[in-house]
Structure 1
Amino acid sequence: MTPTQTTPEVLRQHAEQAYAHELAALAQHDRHPKPPRWNLSPRAVLTYLMGGRAGDTEITPKYVGEPRLMEIAVATLATDRALLLIGVPGTAKSWVSEHLAAAISGDSTLLVQGTAGTDENAIRYGWNYARLLAEGPSEAALVESPVMHAMREGKIARLEELTRVQSDVQDTLITVLSEKTLPVPELNTEVQAVRGFNLIATA
């Protein structure tokens, strides 16, 4: 890049980028206990969502509504239970899930967009078929889904429009959420979720 060139401005930054200064200020002044691999305590996550102050930094509200709903959402995730946000279109479900993931994991990009065509590979894992044909099943040929990546890293995964996904594909989540493990029978192994992993779905 030459000195006269500039980095193009993206149309929309991820929450952890757009509000990085607020998240940093909250982390700096956060004195409350944090669940494993959470960047902020549940109390600081609530402040990030509902607005307030962190030292001299004003925290802008990300959600304007009943505080009790956000308290329940944060408490659900803090107690290792998956969170389902249900509402009619335009009620900020995706917006809230993005900001929850940003505040808790510092990464809101581990996202599966649910549609009628979403298959098991999008939730579990897929394969690099060129390597699969050349080498056979191996870790190198495995293509991680956002959910598998979140399990390995102890982060929050997001699944948009869960109810648009066919029911047999939804069933893929049963073992992930109940046993906190994702079997990979082709490799005779499994991926066990690291503490901090959780799932936020919208419907």
Structure 2
Amino acid sequence: MSTSLSSSVSRPSDQAPAVLRAHAETAYAAELDALAAADDRPRPERWRLSPWAVATYLLGGTLPDGTVVTPKYVGPRRIVEVAVTTLATDRALLLLGVPGTAKTWVSEHLAAAVSGDSTLLVQGTAGTPEEAIRYGWNYARLLAEGPSREALVPSPVLRAMAEGKTARVEELTRIPADVQDTLITILSEKTLPIPELGEEVQAVRGFNLIATANDRDRGVNELSSALRRRFNTVVLPLPATLDDEVSIVARRVSELGRSLDLPEPPSALTEIQRVVTVFRELRAGVTADGRTKLKSPSGTLSTAEAISVVTNGLALAAHFGDGQLRAGDVAAGLLGAVVRDPATDRLIWQEYLESVVRERTDWKDFYRSCRDAAAL
């Protein structure tokens, strides 16, 4: 006797299961609705909001009715404006940056604000097939009935073309080059031929595509010049200042903590500032005061990784401590983020602890916790 997973979980029949992470258009539905109600500017066809309102949604602001729109991206306003404007033209948008610069986050929120749907997504990997971008087939129907519209399985890109929405391709440079080039006809002609049916799908107004890519990870496939010309490239930089990065980490950690039902700590700012300071100094290869040069480890030490380290620390504090985030809660996660190559990164980390962290009088607890974690 088999039992389905859903039936084995006890809950009231009228209560929907809580998802771990809601899509942007669901999580921020109230803000999007308030922006739509207040938005009196021209909107491109099939856009949920005007370009001005999309930029406000990403950058934050206060609406005339008092609704506070939380910032989704902390960075130069012009970057967001260029990205939004690109989507209002016939050019596709390529968000480029080192790992952890919020490319996927920005891509999702742009699609949510423009189309009200961020789910038309192709996740790029080394094994992504051409069918993930074009279309596939229901082989049972294909064998039984032959090629037909009913047997065709549309890709997220094909659906976006037919519905006039925004498609997303994550990690474009991880996709094999010959599969990448499947996008050339789609982006240049705004058409996807289906030779098996003797038909084509033409993109309706409102369709566009956002791709993300970085050139720092292993397994990167360079974009062909023909494909790169179809994109307007916007480079997302690392946060410019310590305060900016601390603000980003604090906001995302708070959101993640709520989704995981972690109690809000009395204050986590001190440890967040320390983690971000460590990441920024090791990334830059110099201390914040510019006096001491440092060796940089092999990892990227991105903002996303800082968020992960602090969130894990909050979970430790909540489940195995008193709820107050302390140095000991983030030390092990910090060690794991910095030391990716045990042969070289461990020496770099130890040198940083002894020459920099140890000398900071108000970091004594942090130094001891990190040293103890490294000794385990």
Aligned to 2:50: 41
Residue 158 of structure 1: aligned partner: 168
For residues 7 and 148 of structure 1, the distance between their equivalents in structure 2, rounded to whole angstroms, comes to 30
Equivalent positions of 1:35-114 (< 5 A) are 35-54=44-63, 55-114=65-124
Higher relative contact order (CA 8 A, sep 6+): 1
| Distance across 2 between alignment mates of 1:138 and 1:5 | 39
**Tell me, what secondary structure is at the counterpart of 1:13?**
coil
Q: Are positions 1:144 and 2:154 aligned together?
A: yes
Tell me which protein shows more strand as a share of its residues: 1
How much does 1:5 deviate? 5.6
1:200, 1:132 → 2: CA distance? 32
In structure 1, distance between residues paired with 2:45 and 2:130: 29
Matched residue type, 1:43: W
Instruction: Please tell me the residue identity of whatever aligns with 2:106.
Output: V
- Range with greater deviation from structure 2 (47-56 or 143-152): 47-56
Q: What is the match of residue 131 of structure 1? A: 141
Q: CA shift at 1:80, angstroms?
A: 2.2
Deviation at 1:6, TM superposition (A): 2.4
Counterpart in the other structure of 1:185: 195
Give the TM-score normalised by structure 2: 0.53
Partner of 1:15: 24
C-alpha separation between the residues in 2 aligned to 1:7 and 1:141?
A: 32
Query: Larger helix proportion, structure 1 or 2?
Result: 2
Post-superposition CA distance 1:151-201 (Å, at most 9, x none): 000000000000000111011000000000000000000000000000000
**Structure 1 unpaired stretches of 5+:** none
Deviations 1:81-135 (A, max 9, x none): 1000011111000000000000000000000000010011000000000000000
- State the match for 1:116 in structure 2: 126
TM-score computed with the length of structure 1 as normaliser: 0.97
- Count the aligned residue pairs: 203
Distance in structure 2 (CA, Å) of the matches to 1:62 and 1:199: 20
Work out the percentage of aligned pairs sharing the same amino acid. 74
Amino acid at match of 1:37: R
Return structure 1 stretches of 4+ with deviation > 6 angstroms.
none
CA distance in 1, matches of 2:166, 2:40: 22
Counterpart of 1:112 in structure 2: which amino acid? V
Letter of the 2:22 partner, please give it.
Answer: Q
Where 1:139 maps in the other structure, the secondary structure is coil
One-letter amino acid of the counterpart of residue 115, structure 1: T
What letter corresponds to residue 145 of structure 2 in structure 1?
E
Report the residue type matching 2:42 in the other structure.
P
